[in-house]
């Protein structure tokens, strides 16, 4: 009766969510995405594309298209979280094994820790600049920038330490406030410039379709890479959703729409600054410093809130869960959040933000080549190989069907390796550059096809009869702990 409680692969945070814990509505899911999408990197995202030669609508369209594409695996992977109530590291055991799951969870965690460092550096720098504009003596304080950075870092770690429910509350009330502030900035830009300014009328710098496509495809990969991280660990959040309808509608309403709108606000407001101030100001912190103190104060609150809502949900949950999954009996989610913060500093975010070319085509594009294949393995396993049928208890057992050979599914590692190899082949063979330009999509399909082929007829796949027996509560009560019983409640209807 207490198999999960005694399991070395389970603890209070990694167990399946209970029915009463599944409280997230479509609004909560949409709020999650609004809170994560409204941030300084989104505001400035289009600037790198415009600098590369696109006009404003080409840049915004590339961003929206990239987010619409990544929304598909986002919804597909979220299904498992909502149906079975498991977090991402446990979901990964399904395809990589009880021990092999550390590979995808740590791959996701490293990227998230890097993003955590980037966001805290941006937020800390913004806080430092805005404090300087509000109080002239702040700039005279020794090490004022490191102080602002560490203060902001500590605030992020503290909220992350409080756990997922604190994140839900923060996103729910923060999302409408952030949208309102963004729209106010858009209205100011329109009125102050007598329109949106010259940037919106500037033509593309590309003379031919070929020149445009040469930039478009690697840029699209970068835009997909922006949220390809969450496409993997979305079960960490969808496990709290009330239903599949709630997670699907919430994500559709929240992700591509907000990313498109806020990146357009960034372009439009920056275009207006050319008219109002005589120069293009892409940095919202620099822009706010030109306003009266009251506006600066309100803007400071908005930027701090925007950075925190993005950072906590997108960049703390995944690595905290991954670290917790390494040592389920010793680490909690809170301790994982602290370790995430330390790693984020160690990754030197100031170097990752050295320039926008390195940011979009280097940082975003490169890790997309690793995460796309992971998405391919996850989708192929759950939807094609197993057709959504999972033995929930075996995900927590060393002797279960998902332990594979010594805890590792070698087939998943081979499929992952093939996807990464093909996706990055253009780095070594110039003639195959188009594969690397579309690294995320190419890697996803190569790994998905490879994994499906390698796993055909595998013994870990449940038959319809086995699945019906497992989901029969009268039988599972004899072998499954109360925790798993509640998680399986109503499974057939989800």
Fold of 3-493: Hydantoin permease (1.10.4160)
The predicted model gives 388-414 an average pLDDT of: 92
Q: What is the pLDDT of residues 189-219, one digit of tens each?
A: 888 888 777 767 777 889 899 999 988 988 8
| Cα dist from 193 to 55, 187, 248, 270, 274, whole Å | 19, 10, 39, 11, 9
Are the beta carbons of 481 and 4 closer than 8 angstroms?
A: yes
What local confidence, expressed as pLDDT, does residue 381 receive? 97
Judged by average pLDDT, the poorest of 143-157, 175-189, 390-404 is 175-189
118, two tokens? 């980037």
CA dihedral 358, 360, 363, 369 (to 10 degrees): -130
Q: Which residue has the higher pLDDT, 478 or 190?
A: 190
Weakest mean pLDDT among 195-204, 304-313, 387-396, 400-409? 195-204
Lowest-confidence pick of 348-352, 477-481, 483-487? 477-481
Higher pLDDT, 285 or 15: 15
d(CA 112, CA 322): 11
pLDDT > 70 in the chain, percent: 87
Lowest mean pLDDT among 65-74, 159-168, 177-186, 465-474: 159-168
Interatomic CA distance for residues 383 and 336, integer angstroms = 30
Let me know how long the chain is: 494
> How far apart are alpha carbons 226 and 29 in whole angstroms?
18
Rounded to an integer, the average pLDDT of 137-142 is: 87
268: phi > 0 → left, psi -120 to 50 → alpha, else beta; which? alpha
Supply angle C-alpha 325, 331, 333, rounded to 5.
Answer: 75
pLDDT higher at 13 or 153: 153
- List the one residue out of 413, 77, 27 whose CA is nearest residue 252: 27
Q: Whole-angstrom Cα distance, residue 69 to residue 76?
A: 12
C-alpha–C-alpha distance, residues 424 and 369, integer Å:
7
Distance CA 144, CA 148 (A): 6
pTM of the full structure? 0.82
Kindly report the backbone phi and psi dihedral angles of residue 203, in degrees, each rounded to the nearest multiple of 5, phi listed first: -80, 165
Query: Which of 150-154, 163-167, 359-363 is predicted with the least confidence, judged by mean pLDDT?
Result: 359-363
Range with lowest mean pLDDT among 46-55, 269-278, 364-373, 465-474? 465-474
């Amino acid at each position: 009766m207490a198999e999960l409680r005694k399991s070395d692969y389970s603890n209070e945070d990694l167990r399946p969510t209970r029915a009463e814990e599944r409280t997230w509505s479509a609004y909560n899911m949409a709020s999650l995405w609004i809170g994560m999408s409204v941030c300084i990197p989104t505001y400035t995202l289009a600037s790198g594309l415009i600098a590369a030669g696109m006009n404003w609508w080409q840049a915004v369209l590339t961003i929206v298209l990239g987010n619409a594409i990544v929304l598909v695996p986002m919804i597909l992977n979220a299904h498992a979280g909502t149906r079975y109530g498991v977090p991402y590291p446990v979901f990964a055991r399904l395809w990589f094994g009880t021990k092999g799951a550390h590979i995808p969870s740590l791959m996701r965690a490293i990227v998230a820790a890097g993003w955590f460092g980037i966001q805290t550096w941006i937020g800390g720098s913004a806080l430092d600049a805005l404090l300087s504009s509000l109080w002239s003596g702040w700039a005279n304080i020794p090490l004022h920038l490191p102080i602002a950075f560490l203060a902001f870092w500590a605030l992020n770690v503290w909220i992350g330490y409080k756990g997922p429910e604190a994140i839900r509350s923060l996103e729910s009330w923060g999302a409408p406030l952030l949208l309102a502030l963004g729209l106010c900035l858009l209205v100011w830009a329109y009125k102050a410039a007598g329109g949106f300014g010259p940037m919106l009328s500037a033509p593309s710098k590309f003379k031919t379709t070929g020149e445009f496509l040469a930039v478009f495809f690697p840029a699209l990969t970068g835009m997909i890479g922006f949220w390809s991280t969450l496409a993997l660990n979305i079960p960490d959040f969808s496990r709290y959703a009330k239903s599949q309808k709630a997670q699907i509608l919430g994500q559709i309403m929240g992700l591509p729409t907000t990313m498109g709108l806020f990146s357009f606000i960034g372009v439009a407001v920056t275009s207006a600054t050319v008219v109002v101030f005589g120069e293009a100001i892409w940095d919202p912190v620099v822009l706010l410093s030109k306003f009266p103190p009251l506006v600066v104060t309100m803007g400071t609150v908005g930027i701090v809130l925007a950075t925190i809502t993005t950072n906590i949900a997108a960049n703390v949950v995944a690595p905290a869960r991954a670290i917790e999954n390494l040592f389920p009996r010793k680490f909690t989610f809170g301790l994982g959040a602290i370790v995430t913060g330390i790693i984020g500093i160690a990754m030197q975010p100031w170097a990752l933000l050295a320039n926008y070319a390195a940011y979009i085509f280097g940082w975003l594009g490169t890790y997309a080549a690793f995460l796309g294949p992971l998405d391919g393995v996850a989708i192929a396993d759950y939807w094609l190989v197993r057709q959504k049928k999972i033995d929930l208890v075996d995900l927590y057992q060393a002797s279960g069907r998902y332990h594979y050979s010594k805890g590792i599914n070698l087939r998943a590692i081979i499929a992952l390796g093939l996807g990464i190899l093909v996706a990055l082949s253009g780095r070594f063979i110039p003639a195959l550059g188009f594969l690397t330009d579309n690294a995320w999509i190419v890697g996803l399909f190569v790994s998905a096809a490879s994994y499906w082929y390698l796993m055909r007829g595998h013994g870990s796949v449940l038959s319809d009869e086995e699945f019906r027996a497992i989901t029969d509560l009268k039988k599972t009560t004899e072998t499954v702990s109360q925790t798993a019983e509640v998680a399986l409640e109503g499974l057939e209807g989800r």
